[in-house]
């Protein structure tokens, strides 16, 4: 079952916009009873009207022989694939039936194979339509929590004790930049390890990204001409730099097996080799040009 149901149709007067899962937006304009897209748009849009010529929905067809049906509000309600199997989406379930009495939120999806996925939402203020839970076709429930600034704080994953929500593995999201309170600064994984970090400059631009487990870090310098210079670092288990990639190329470092000293540094255009005595003192340095 697809997990992305962001597709919708927005219309006004003689224009309509089709929002796709991948972020693309296709524009259509009314021409009589037809809706025409640009020449490079492969999809087609048809308005559904009643006997009084009032628009009650839309049909949207793709080159993959998939037909999507939307209601008058532009919400996706059904997808039919080339085999004739359908996927249905329900927005207006009553609370007694597992919904939230809110026609603006997606309550239930029934997949092509008859499997179902249900969604729960925050009913309080100030963000009453934020998704708080998702139960997958296997009956496993994922839970979502937010802070007072509407940032996603955590995702709790299902485990072997469904009746105990306190012990579920949880991924945490951090927003520690007080100047830019919606900028994500880090992620703590389900094992409790701070695994990813981001740093921003005074303008809110990312200047550093670090994957802790992979010992991988990238820095970004913003130049006066509007360009940016990215430098990527890779470290070994001892925290020693073994690779650095800059605009000029990649620099790799091989470290001495006994000393915390470089044995060989390969840069764009040259190699530098270092020799040491038994006490770790540098005895020679050889520089060779390379193509």
Q: Tell me the pLDDT tens digit for each residue of 151-173.
A: 999 999 999 888 887 889 999 99
Contact 165, 143 (CB under 8 A): yes
Residues in a beta bridge with 116: 110
Predicted local distance difference test score (pLDDT) of residue 286: 77
Would you place residue 1 in the very low, low, confident or very high pLDDT band (cuts 50, 70, 90)?
Answer: very low
Flag whether pLDDT at 37 surpasses 80: yes
Tokens 């929002």, residue?
A: 19
Confidence of residue 59 (pLDDT cuts 50, 70, 90): very high
Task: Output the CA angle 48-52-58, nearest 5 degrees.
Answer: 10
248 pLDDT above the threshold of 60? no
Query: What does the pLDDT read at residue 2?
Result: 36
| Higher pLDDT pick, 122 / 284 | 122
Structure tokens of 16? 């309509």
Answer whether 188's CB lies under 8 Å from 172's CB. Answer: yes
Domain locations in the chain as residue ranges: 1-84
Reported residue count of the chain is: 291
Report DSSP letters for the chain, one per residue: -------EEEEETTEEEEE-TTS-EEEEEEETTEEEE-TT---EEEEEE-TT--EEEEEEE-TTS-EEEEETT-BEEEEE-TTS-EEEEE----GGGT--S-TTS--EEE-TTS-EEEEEE--SSS-TT-EEEEE-TTS-EEEEEE-TTS-EEEEEPP-S-TT-GGG--EEEEE---SSSTTS--EEE-TTS-EEEEEEE-TTS-EEEEEETTTTEEEEEEE-TTS-EEEEEEEE-TTS-EEEEEETTEEEEEEE-SSSSSEEEEEETTEEEEEEE-TTS-EEEEEEEE--
β-bridge pairing 249-255 and 241-246? antiparallel
- Segment 190-224, tens digit of pLDDT: 999 999 999 999 989 888 888 887 777 888 888 78
Model pTM above 0.75: no
Using one digit for the tens of pLDDT, what is the confidence trace for 105-144? 899 999 999 999 999 988 776 777 889 999 999 999 999 9
Neighbouring C-beta atoms of residue 11, cutoff 10 Å: 20
Measured between its terminal Cα atoms, the distance across the chain in Å is 52
211's tokens: 């994957």
- Structure tokens belonging to residue 12: 């006004």
Query: Pairing mode, if any, of strands 228-235 and 216-222?
Result: antiparallel
Beta bridge partners of 267: 270
Percent over 90 (pLDDT), the chain: 51
Mean pLDDT, residues 7-28 taken together? 94
With 60 as the cut, is the pLDDT of residue 284 above it? yes
The whole-angstrom separation of Cα 184 and Cα 177 is: 8
């Amino acid at each position: 079952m697809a997990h992305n149901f962001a597709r919708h149709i927005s219309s006004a007067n003689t224009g309509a916009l089709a929002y796709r899962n991948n972020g693309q937006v296709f524009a259509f304009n009314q021409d009589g009873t037809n809706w025409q897209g640009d020449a490079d748009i492969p999809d087609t849009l048809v308005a559904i009207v009643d006997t009084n010529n009032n628009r009650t929905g839309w049909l949207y067809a793709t080159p993959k022989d998939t037909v999507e049906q939307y209601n008058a509000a532009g919400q996706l309600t059904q997808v039919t694939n080339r085999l004739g199997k359908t996927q249905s989406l329900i927005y207006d379930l009553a609370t007694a039936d597992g919904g939230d009495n809110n026609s603006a939120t997606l309550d239930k999806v029934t997949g092509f194979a008859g499997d179902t996925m249900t969604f729960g939402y925050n009913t309080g203020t100030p963000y009453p339509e934020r998704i708080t839970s998702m139960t997958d076709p296997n009956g496993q429930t994922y839970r979502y929590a937010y802070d007072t600034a509407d940032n996603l704080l955590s995702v709790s994953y299902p485990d072997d004790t469904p009746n105990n929500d306190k012990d579920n593995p949880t991924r945490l999201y951090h927003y520690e930049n007080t100047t830019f309170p919606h900028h994500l600064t880090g992620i703590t994984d389900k094992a409790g390890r701070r695994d990813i970090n981001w740093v921003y400059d005074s303008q809110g631009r990312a200047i550093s990204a670090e994957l802790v487990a992979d010992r991988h870090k990238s820095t970004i310098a913003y130049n006066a001409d509007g360009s940016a210079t990215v430098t990527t670092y890779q470290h070994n288990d001892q925290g020693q730099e073994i690779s650095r990639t800059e605009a000029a190329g990649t620099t790799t470092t091989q470290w001495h097996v006994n000393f915390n000293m470089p044995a060989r540094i390969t840069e764009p255009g040259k190699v530098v080799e270092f020799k040491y005595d038994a006490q770790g003192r540098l005895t020679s340095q050889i520089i060779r040009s390379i193509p």
